[in-house]
Structure 1
Amino acid sequence: MTSGVVLITGASSGLGAEMARQFAALGYDLALCARRTERLDALAEEIRRTSGRRVETAALDVTDADAVPAVFTRFADSFGTLDRVVVNAGLGKGAPLGTGRADANRETAMTNFVGALAQCEAAVEVFRRQGRGHLVVISSISALRGMRKSMTTYAATKAGVAALAEGLRSERIPGLDVSVVYPGYIRSEMNEHVQQKTRFMVDTPTGVRAVVAAIEARRVKAYVPAWPWAPIARLMRVLPLSVVRKLT
């Protein structure tokens, strides 16, 4: 069994909750945070019961610039270490630009990018202090190109967090590993409102197994599940936008 402490943000539902279950099954203790504490605490109790792992929780809105470092530091002090931080909290809201829903786009930008920046700041501060750590940023396959309509802002934020991670990796901070994971279409609460059949969509446990495997391997960059998203990612970087629209 593996041992260590993994902090996951946005852990009350979707990919975050399933990552918590799967990391616990691998032998990790967990520091879980999210805005919805009722669901978070229920998840923590489930994991304690099924895995016997230590699980601590905290309420956290990642757009609260003061709360993020406070919560991360409190977890680090309580466990004595943070081995890995998964920057996962995010929103999927959005509307075509210029259609009167600037509020939805702004909320997504604040959560997905500004909130991710706060998490990276807090995590790397802990890791610098420890002299080691693994920062994981959950991006999206949509980050590879500009997306249209309601996906425009979301995709831009996910490209932004990938660039943050790459900048940190370029800095070559001693003891710090940085991974960016680009999930393809994984069914979760964020996309459960999508009624039509989506090509290449996988269920949450299957998709998260691929995410967790990439994280465990400390991959610098991972498109998951690898099939079909690794070859699609290569194509998306070079194809004209008129073709990209048909793939996404």
Structure 2
Amino acid sequence: MPNDLRLDGKAAVITGASSGIGSETAHALAREGANVVLAARREERLQELAGSIEAEYGTEALVAPTDVTDEEAVGALVDGAVDAFGGLDVLVNNAGLGRGSGVEDLSTEDYRTMMDVNVDGCFFATRAALPHLRETEGNLVFIGSFAGQYPRPSNPVYAATKWWLRGFALSVSSRVGEDGVAVSVVNPSEVRTEFGGEESFEERFEEGEVTEPDEVAAAVAFAARQDRSMVSELDLYRRDKFSGF
């Protein structure tokens, strides 16, 4: 790969970095030469991930325990990244979760948790990062979902948060594109991670049966490397996804 398509010396913040897509994204960006700031609530996992990244790729990996629903904590996360690396080149809005299922049975607590993390957390991180991404003409990447493009009868509220995310990302793109900021949304279908309710997708699906986290991470790295044109949306679906329609 030509050097101008790598991320050598770039600084990237990844939310929800402690497992799954976030963890694999941290590896993917560090493999391309980026210094990464790892944000999530589970500090022990972040410490293990940081050690692995620094040992394997020789880039810096900073641990930043962060609850994305806390706007002050998110502001401190971004400020800390800029202080450490002199700027910010990439933000990956990955933190997200699903709770419950149908509307009638969804508790108010689960409803608010999904809205707080999937919507507010994404807004707080984007708001904090944009001034710095303008300075570097950087890349803003959102982890969307198939559920944000097509009806999801199994969990309408989760789907609605992902529809919001796409609408927000594309609208932000229309505002900051003239400033040189690229905005990309990566939309996977089922990914074999800890995501899910009582039975996670990692437990439900065998390896290779659905999309793997490293496949999504590769798509994020591709989006993060763009330096002229940009990928607005990148759909990453398992091959049999449309067979049930």
Q: Same fold (TM over 0.5)?
A: yes
Q: How many residues align?
A: 231
User: Structure 1 pair 131/27, CA: closer, same or farther in 2 (3 Å)?
Assistant: closer
State which of 181, 185, 192 in structure 2 corresponds to 1:187. Answer: 192
Output the amino acid matched with 2:113. Answer: E
- Pairing 1:126–2:132 present: yes
State which of 109, 117, 136 in structure 2 corresponds to 1:103. Answer: 109
- Pairing 1:74–2:86 present: no
User: Structure 1 pair 5/103, CA: closer, same or farther in 2 (3 Å)?
Assistant: same
User: Structure 1 pair 200/53, CA: closer, same or farther in 2 (3 Å)?
Assistant: same
Contact map agreement 1:94 1:153 (CA 8 A) in 2: no
Cα distance in structure 1, aligned partners of 2:44 and 2:64: 11
Output the amino acid matched with 2:195. Answer: M
- Matched position secondary structure for 1:23: helix
- Pairing 1:212–2:184 present: no
Contact map agreement 2:139 2:224 (CA 8 A) in 1: no
If asked which structure has higher relative contact order (CA below 8 Å, sep 6+), I would say 2
Q: Partner residue of 1:161? A: 165
Q: Partner residue of 2:210? A: 201
Tell me the TM-score normalised to structure 1 length. Answer: 0.84
CA shift, 1:184, in A, is 1.7
Cα distance in structure 2, aligned partners of 1:213 and 1:60: 26
Cα distance in structure 2, aligned partners of 1:132 and 1:53: 22
User: Structure 1 pair 95/5, CA: closer, same or farther in 2 (3 Å)?
Assistant: same
Cα distance in structure 1, aligned partners of 2:146 and 2:84: 35
- Pairing 1:18–2:30 present: no
Spell out structure 1 runs of 4+ moving beyond 4 A: 194-200, 225-229
Output the amino acid matched with 1:10. Answer: G
Question: 1:134-181 deviations in whole A, cap 9, x for unaligned?
Answer: 1111110110123113x2111110110111111111113412111111
Question: 1:72-127 deviations in whole A, cap 9, x for unaligned?
Answer: 01211211011110000111223311225221122011100111111111111322
Q: Partner residue of 1:221? A: 233
- Pairing 1:35–2:19 present: no
Output the amino acid matched with 2:145. Answer: S
Contact map agreement 1:210 1:225 (CA 8 A) in 2: no
State which of 9, 19, 22 in structure 1 corresponds to 2:15. Answer: 9
Percent of paired sites with the same residue:
32
CA shift, 1:213, in A, is 2.9
Q: Which runs of 5+ in 2 are unaligned?
A: none
CA shift, 1:71, in A, is 1.3
Cα distance in structure 1, aligned partners of 2:101 and 2:137: 40
Q: Which runs of 5+ in 1 are unaligned?
A: 233-242
After superposition, the CA RMSD in angstroms is 2.3
